[in-house]
Amino acid sequence: MLDGETGPILPPCAEGRRIGKGVRHRFPERKRSLTPFPPVPLSRLLRTETVVVPLRPKDKWEAIERLVDRLVEGGALSQTLRGPVLEALVGRERSMSTGMEQGVAIPHAAVDEIQAPLAALGIVPDGVAFESIDGQPATIVVLLVIPRREKHLHIRTLAEVARLLTRDDLRESLLAAPDAAGVLQALRSAEGDPKGDSA
């Protein structure tokens, strides 16, 4: 909403407070950045060694463990950190399910010991129960581990992955991918498509 010639009315904490009629007192202008902690594209967090096609776990706990093991086997995570990372992921999952909707689950955790964000992805053709919001089994499981000190990065990356996977065309492409390379190609295409937000 516009206020005459003074510009858009913003919350007091952002611009200032109204004093009298049509008069605005402005606090000293601060630098504002809309993306101080830009999310890392999922395709850049993954590599072929950390994508499992197909993944056939008996339950969500095995799905999480197998994806953590894939991080270790792919050289993204040291064996010594397997325990702490798995413990953090399981603890987070026990506190609240990370099953989303439309066959997507994003188990995630913040961990002190790691230095950079990590991700693994599994395509589950038969689906696995994840206590999802819509009650549907998860067929796409994205595991995220972020350094605890990068709290804002964690939030933004998680939100971006969830947003990306709301796209019907991307989910269909991921489920149809024959191998890890196909999964990565589908993600790169989606991330590079500016029209994808409205798809």
**Structural domain includes residue 179:** yes
If one counts every other C-beta atom within 10 angstroms of the C-beta of residue 4, the result is 6
- CB neighbour class for 22 (10 Å; exposed up to 12, middle 13-18, buried from 19): exposed
**Structural domain includes residue 102:** yes
**Structural domain includes residue 163:** yes
Model pLDDT, residue 79: 98
Question: Which pLDDT tens digits describe the chain residue by residue (199 residues)?
Answer: 434 444 443 333 433 334 344 444 443 444 444 445 678 899 999 999 999 999 999 999 999 999 999 999 999 999 999 999 999 999 999 999 999 999 999 999 999 999 999 999 999 999 999 999 999 999 999 999 999 998 888 899 999 999 999 999 999 999 999 999 999 999 999 999 544 444 3
What CATH number corresponds to the domain at position 67?
3.40.930.10
Residue 4 DSSP class: T
DSSP 86-115: HHHHHHHHHHS--B-STTEE--EEEESS-S
Which residue type, as a one-letter code, is found at position 173?
S
Cis check: omega of the bond before 41, within 30 degrees of 0: no
Q: Which pTM was predicted? A: 0.79
Instruction: Give the largest Cα separation in the chain, rounded.
Output: 66
**Structural domain includes residue 30:** no
CA 89/CA 84 separation, integer angstroms = 9
Range of the domain at 167: 42-192
**Number of domains within the chain:** 1
